Amino acid sequence: MSIQVFEKENIFKLDTGNTSYIMSVMDDGHLLHLYYGAKLNEADLTYLGTPHSRVSFWAIQPGSDYSADSMALEYSGSGTADLRPCSVTTVDEDGDNVTDLRYDSYTLSSGKPKLPGLPCVYLNEGQEAQTLCITLKDAVKDLYVDLYYTVFAFSNAISRFTVIRNEGKQAEILEKAMTSTLQFHGKDYDLIHLHGAWAREFNVERSPISHTTQVISSFRGSSSHIANPFAVIAKKDAGEDSGEVYGMNLIYSSNFMVETELDAFDTLRVNLGINERGFAWKLNPGESFTTPEAILVYSENGLGEMSRTYQKLYQHNLIRGKYRDIPHPVLLNSWEGVYFDFDAKKILSMASAAAKLGIDLFVLDDGWFGKRDDDTCSLGDWVVNEKKLGCTMKELVDDINKLGLDFGLWFEPEMISPDSDLYRAHPDWCLHQKKRNPSLARHQLILDMSRKDVQDHVVETVSKVLSSANIRYVKWDMNRNMAEIGSALLPNERLGELFHRYILGVYSVMERITSAFPDVLFESCSGGGGRFDAGIMHYMPQNWTSDDSDAIQRLNIQYGCSFVYPPSVMTCHVSAVPNHQVHRVTPMKTRANVAMQGSFGYELDMSKLSEEDKAAVIEQVKEYKKYAHLVIDGLQYRLISPVNSNECAFMVVSEDKSTAIVTYVKKLNDPNPCTTRLYLKGLDENAKYRERDTGKVYNGKALMTAGLNLPDMKEDFDSLRMVFERV
């Protein structure tokens, strides 16, 4: 890892273990992007930076020989000669909507800065990183843009974020503030991204980049089920294990955008940052704005290596708290087992069955507070419904602890039901537009988390419940999109700040609560994966992946999620059959094999399981716990994609390559089937491995290059779990 600055030549070169990133300053002060890709010994690539000479129609700014419209700008201003999608837009009080950015200065430092109020990657003790800050300036406005780049000694990822500083005399409205812009040469690229909907998140879509502007975005107040703040620019020939890919992921949980445009000269520009739609931030003189952080990962060995780089960095340098390093408890969640229909007796019967089967923790989901027996009321009234339970929370938790189980509780702290004591007391605490009736989703409104009084109230009420009993786990849900956005406290001219202020408020509340309760495992949820992003991961090491718990649907969902996020963050539950979302009946074995890919648990009424299923659960829990450390620190390899395929296979290998677990699932069985040959990955090619169930010993290299024939499956949705230990 190193950052070199060649002052005479005005060249900046960032090197990670395997990659180089090169920029230079042109004579007219524009900062050019010259190269990002496989590591190079050469820094002077300025010969690549010469833009097109004079072309009809292209505007040329005074003092320049070339049009900015044909330059590969590292971070582009707006309202100037560059008419492509820009990185930043500012408008001052005189209506000057130009932001003309030229090189000003740089600083180089060791370590990595924190981002105020925002989640970010951090260094552990003894880990090294270097940070370059390049400052650009609009001389007319006295507006400065600091571009931060960090390279790490222990990862091939590059971190970027941007700070926009108003040193001028007038207020500026920031209408667009991208975290990063990247420039690629040529049109030989595909765009890969993750799209979905409630209960069918993380679909991988790959499409050619064309001469148009493509935007992947969320305008829902959260990263959303619909899209994810992640995209890959992949060479057309790139696949799972070969070819050049560039991953980009925003550590952010609200509205975002990834914008690509292939221009008239076949230069591809990619912007990543907060969605400009609905965004306008007032920067008074002396104020600054910090964008969220983006993590860029280049790999010349395809998508698999890119994903492992993200997973490892996030597991060890983004997630925090004690559950970053240790396996998460195996839990039983009450939701699909009993929904709202329970009392203490019912809960104890489920928990007592769970305790006998080796489960560590019982989670009481929605319905324990206010007068909530369905989803029409009580959000905001975080007061235990003792009448419904038949006891206090402390009594219930103590009884569950006596069974040998820890206890966890569901909250939806950012929400407020119109039918709640909180709403009756504070009708202006929700996001709303004064003259309009607000849209409801799931009968609920959203608390205005931009307000300090609301933030304090949420911290106080959630903390009160957590302090009232031995609660070791919290499921933090968020169950709707935003609409009719307005705030009783924010001045009208600052309305464009509300989405971002909301999420800053959420981050602040999460920081306060999670640091006050360091022993509690926090799981994020937003109707499943509606806010499954790297931002929330900084506060909550686990995330309910999808409200679809069907093992076959989960193959696709977990496959897409693995493109960027670590397995330990994915909460995966074995649920009852017929499955509640798709009514499919799958074997218990397969439900467990699929769920063991992430942080494992169950979501069904354990007291109603057959003796055979109970015996299976005992074995599954033992099996999961034996290898649970691999979910935390193993390396994951995708072997067969489930997308448009009847099969799926993935494996995890311990970092020292001594243990590997292969999971194979075949969706529909067929008669007289062809033999499936699986080519394993990530093993020690000089070692021998014994497969646990058959006792057969294989050569590591042979397993990877010659492959392994799998036995025929016996029924629809059958699966196989193979454990290989180095001998």
Kindly list the residues in this chain that would bind ligand GLA in the complex (CB under 6 A). 335, 365-366, 375, 410, 477, 479, 525, 527-528, 544, 547
CB-wise, 528 or 566, nearer to ligand GLA? 528
Q: How far apart are CA 467 and CA 461, in angstroms?
A: 10
Give the contacts of 126 (CB within 8 A, at least 6 positions apart). Answer: none
End-to-end CA distance of the chain: 36
Element containing residue 465 per DSSP (H, E) = helix 452-468
DSSP-derived secondary structure for 620-675: HHHHHHHHHHHHHH-EEEEEE--TTSSEEEEEEE-TTSSEEEEEEEESS--SSPPP
Exactly one of 477, 550, 605, 718 is catalytic; name it.
477
Nearest Cα to 291, choosing from 176, 139, 214? 176
List of E strands, 69-171: 88-92, 102-110, 129-138, 143-152, 157-166
Q: How far apart are CA 719 and CA 713, in angstroms?
A: 7
Q: How far is the CB of 369 from ligand GLA (least distance, A)?
A: 12
Residue 185 structure tokens: 């040469």
Q: How far is the CB of 124 from ligand GLA (least distance, A)?
A: 32
Do 350 and 334 form a contact (C-beta atoms < 8 A)? yes
Do 448 and 503 form a contact (C-beta atoms < 8 A)? no
Residue 88 structure tokens: 């930043």
CA dihedral of 581, 585, 586, 588, whole degrees rounded to 10 = 100
Do 254 and 221 form a contact (C-beta atoms < 8 A)? yes
Task: Report how far Cα 167 is from the mean position of its chain's Cα atoms.
Answer: 34
Q: How far is the CB of 225 from ligand GLA (least distance, A)?
A: 11
Element containing residue 557 per DSSP (H, E) = helix 551-561
CB-wise, 51 or 528, nearer to ligand GLA? 528
- Using CB atoms, what's the residue nearest to ligand GLA? 366
Note if 477 is an active site residue: yes
Evaluate the omega torsion of the peptide bond into residue 208 and state whether it is cis, within 30 degrees of 0. Answer: no
* Chain position carrying tokens 């010994």: 41
CB-wise, 276 or 366, nearer to ligand GLA? 366
Do 624 and 607 form a contact (C-beta atoms < 8 A)? no
Q: How far apart are CA 182 and CA 273, in angstroms?
A: 12
CB-wise, 381 or 547, nearer to ligand GLA? 547
Q: How far is the CB of 36 from ligand GLA (least distance, A)?
A: 38
How would you classify the pairing of strands 19-25 and 31-38? antiparallel
Evaluate the omega torsion of the peptide bond into residue 642 and state whether it is cis, within 30 degrees of 0. Answer: no
Residue type, 717: F
Q: How far is the CB of 520 from ligand GLA (least distance, A)?
A: 17
Give the contacts of 42 (CB within 8 A, at least 6 positions apart). Answer: none
Q: How far is the CB of 410 from ligand GLA (least distance, A)?
A: 6
Q: How far apart are CA 249 and CA 433, in angstroms?
A: 32
Question: How crowded is the C-beta side of 108, counted as CA atoms within 13 Å?
Answer: 11
Q: How many other β-carbons are positioned within 10 Å of the β-carbon of residue 236? A: 13
Give CA angle at 605 (599, 611), nearest 5°: 95
Q: How far is the CB of 378 from ligand GLA (least distance, A)?
A: 11
CB-wise, 367 or 496, nearer to ligand GLA? 367
Q: How far apart are CA 568 and CA 131, in angstroms?
A: 29
Question: How crowded is the C-beta side of 333, counted as CA atoms within 13 Å?
Answer: 27
Note if 547 is an active site residue: yes
Q: How far apart are CA 352 and CA 337, in angstroms?
A: 14
How many contiguous H segments (helices) and E segments (strands) does the chain have? 13, 38
Q: How far is the CB of 348 from ligand GLA (least distance, A)?
A: 20
Q: Is 505 helix (H, G, I), strand (E, B) or coil?
A: helix
Give CA angle at 563 (557, 565), nearest 5°: 85
Exactly one of 146, 533, 547, 718 is catalytic; name it.
547
Residue 539 structure tokens: 């506060």
Which residues form the catalytic set?
477, 547
